Structure 1
Amino acid sequence: MSDRVVCKPTPWFFLRAAAMIVMFGVFAVLFYKDGKSGYREANLSYFLSESFKKAAEEFTAKGASMSPEEWAAYASTQEVAVPENPELLPVGTEFPIMWPEMLHDHAAMAEKGVSNPKSYFDAYRQESGLAKSPPEQSYTQQKINEQWYVFWICLGLLAVAIFFLLRTLTRKMVVEGDTFQPAGGKAVPIKDLVRLDLRKWSSKGLAMAWANDGSGGERKIRIDGLTYGGFKAEDGEPAEKLMQALKSRFSGEIIEYETDEDESEEALPADASEARD
């Protein structure tokens, strides 16, 4: 066994960290876009679509009896009903918003606008370049504010994920001679270790150790084999190699789950155990 065993961050950790960074980054961008402009653009689309429904009702009620010129004159004076708060619509929206010119066309209204105002609006949306389809209900200021709240949360989580990635990049676990260097902590003489808990080592790659802190207390040390070293056979199981090196130099208490063999041996009478030996 080599005198020096080093466990650096594993590809598994980098993959998990990258996935979290991408996830929080994508969410932050999406919520930022919705908070800044997306919900406002959707609101504009909603109120414009409502004007197509209103125009269909108006045309059914009186437009059909009007001449094309009369209907065009009437429609050109109609405004899109919008909320009083201009911040619910995209920045730069000019008020008042008049009915789109498609609604001024008497023949088109009679043929398409009345029978299917939604489809007629979809044609207008494609022609005018409206990016957002209309929602079921318009978004309130509270809903827009919520997008900003979640954006800041995602941005904070993104910063945390990047922090842990950068911090882990600089860490490693090392057993060298009679010294153990835990990840992110100062080196400790292995003779100062008093207890080693291996109950989660085989299932989760996680162990805990306690060392004398020099002032009558104990220092708790985390040994994370999944993050540092790993257990891939093709890599030589670095984390397991480190643990074996640590155990070979350790003389304190080891806490492990009892195996079935250990339990069956304890259940045997003393003379039966001796006879088996």
Structure 2
Amino acid sequence: MTDRIVCKPTPWFLLRAAAMLLMFGIFSVLFFRDGKWGYREQNLVYHLSKAFEQAKNEFKEKKDQMTPVDWRAYAAKRTIDFTHIDKESKQVIATPVPEGTPVPMPWPEILGDYEAMKAAPDQGQDKLFNDYLLQTNIKKEAPEELFTLRKINEQWVVFWFCLVLVLGALFMLLRTMGRKIAIDGEAFYPASGGKVPFADLARLDLRKWETKGLAFTWAKTPSGGERKLRIDGLTYGGFKKEDGEPAEQLMRRLKENFSGELIEYVTESEEPAKPAVPGS
């Protein structure tokens, strides 16, 4: 009895599928983070930076007119309303900020410190603001522009798209890991399952076998029709010489037992010679 040849999923396919799964998974996490928290947190930092800039300008105008107590009382009444002018509609709309953010939000307490505000210009333009971010454990940087609700919704759309790709890649990986292609002395066993006797194979298409390791065969069905079977040598078995080229061994065995229509490219050396023309 002829030995059975079994072609299992190749490390090449498994590595590629795992890489795709990892890539789409990372993208999903990044877009989810930006849609859920990231863009909203950056919007918060943007408005905070504007509040510090506004406080700096107002302090510069009023410092000679106010005592430290007066300035603290004045700063305690100032708020951040988290609104902006929409570029398209030119209307004032609310800026998306993290859930739980008080709207309007009082100025940060540090802005009511007269001495800190007075010393800020000598310490650098952003020193006071950066110190505040460090103290409040805010790790985001102020963006150049606000992220609108439309941009945030776009992150959710791409997230769901990437999630579908993740599930698709996971499905393909798990499905392929549980499959194999085999052949013995009686029949061919495709990756989709079942047993196909050699006598039931009607056609064999090898036109992509040499270049892509891909072939197709058609098997007769009990109803009188045909079903198309895919033979993917790169996914199952492989062509590594150190492994004995399992996919090539399977194809040789299949061709030896195949008696139907064979479809393959014919090279010039294999073309029949043209008959001589009389009188030439």
The answer, yes or no, to whether TM exceeds 0.5 is: yes
Identity of aligned residues (%): 53
Pairing of 1:59-78 with structure 2 (within 5 A): 59-63=59-63, 65-78=65-78
1:193 corresponds to 2:209: no
User: Which of the numbers 173, 183, 186 marks the counterpart of 1:178?
Assistant: 186
Cα distance, 1:7 vs structure 2: 0.6
Cα distance, 1:260 vs structure 2: 4.2
Task: Give the partner amino acid of 1:258.
Answer: V
- Kindly provide the CA deviation profile for residues 211-265 of structure 1, in whole angstroms up to 9, marking residues without a partner as x: 22233332111111111111111111110100000000011222222224225xx
1:37 corresponds to 2:45: no
Task: Give the partner amino acid of 1:121.
Answer: F
Cα distance, 1:46 vs structure 2: 1.2
Paired residue for 1:3?
Answer: 3
Paired residue for 1:206?
Answer: 214
Q: Which runs of 5+ in 2 are unaligned?
A: 84-91
| 2:265 partner SS | coil
| 2:175 partner SS | helix
Paired residue for 2:237?
Answer: 229
Cα distance, 1:118 vs structure 2: 3.8
Cα distance, 1:188 vs structure 2: 1.3
Note if contact 1:194-1:212 (Cα within 8 Å) is conserved in structure 2. Answer: yes
Note if contact 1:43-1:134 (Cα within 8 Å) is conserved in structure 2. Answer: yes
| 1:208 partner SS | strand
Paired residue for 1:103?
Answer: 111
Cα distance, 1:42 vs structure 2: 1.5
Q: Distance in 2 between matches of 1:86 and 1:92?
A: 15
| 1:76 partner SS | helix
1:145 corresponds to 2:145: no
| 1:211 partner SS | strand
User: Which of the numbers 135, 147, 152 marks the counterpart of 1:127?
Assistant: 135
Q: Distance in 2 between matches of 1:31 and 1:239?
A: 40
Note if contact 1:178-1:191 (Cα within 8 Å) is conserved in structure 2. Answer: no
- Kindly provide the CA deviation profile for residues 75-99 of structure 1, in whole angstroms up to 9, marking residues without a partner as x: 2221123139878222222343221
Task: Give the partner amino acid of 1:161.
Answer: A
Note if contact 1:56-1:117 (Cα within 8 Å) is conserved in structure 2. Answer: no
Q: Distance in 2 between matches of 1:114 and 1:214?
A: 90
Pairing of 1:38-57 with structure 2 (within 5 A): 38-57=38-57
Q: 1:174 to 1:106 in 2, by over 3 A?
A: same
Cα distance, 1:167 vs structure 2: 1.2
Q: Distance in 1 between matches of 2:122 and 2:104?
A: 24
- Kindly provide the CA deviation profile for residues 124-171 of structure 1, in whole angstroms up to 9, marking residues without a partner as x: 211211122122222222222222222222222212211111211221
| 2:236 partner SS | coil
Q: Distance in 2 between matches of 1:199 and 1:92?
A: 63
- Kindly provide the CA deviation profile for residues 94-124 of structure 1, in whole angstroms up to 9, marking residues without a partner as x: 3432212332233443443599544432232
Q: Distance in 2 between matches of 1:241 and 1:51?
A: 73
Q: Distance in 1 between matches of 2:126 and 2:158?
A: 32
Task: Give the partner amino acid of 1:238.
Answer: P
Query: Normalised by the size of structure 2, how large is the TM-score?
Result: 0.85
Q: 1:64 to 1:237 in 2, by over 3 A?
A: farther
User: Which of the numbers 248, 261, 264 marks the counterpart of 2:269?
Assistant: 261
Note if contact 2:13-2:235 (Cα within 8 Å) is conserved in structure 1. Answer: yes
Q: 1:95 to 1:114 in 2, by over 3 A?
A: farther
Q: Which runs of 5+ in 1 are unaligned?
A: 272-277
Paired residue for 1:275?
Answer: none
Query: Normalised by the size of structure 1, how large is the TM-score?
Result: 0.86
Q: Distance in 2 between matches of 1:171 and 1:153?
A: 27
Paired residue for 2:79?
Answer: 79
Note if contact 2:2-2:185 (Cα within 8 Å) is conserved in structure 1. Answer: no
- Count residues in correspondence: 268
**Over aligned residues, Cα RMSD in angstroms?**
2.5
Note if contact 1:60-1:114 (Cα within 8 Å) is conserved in structure 2. Answer: no
Note if contact 1:59-1:109 (Cα within 8 Å) is conserved in structure 2. Answer: yes
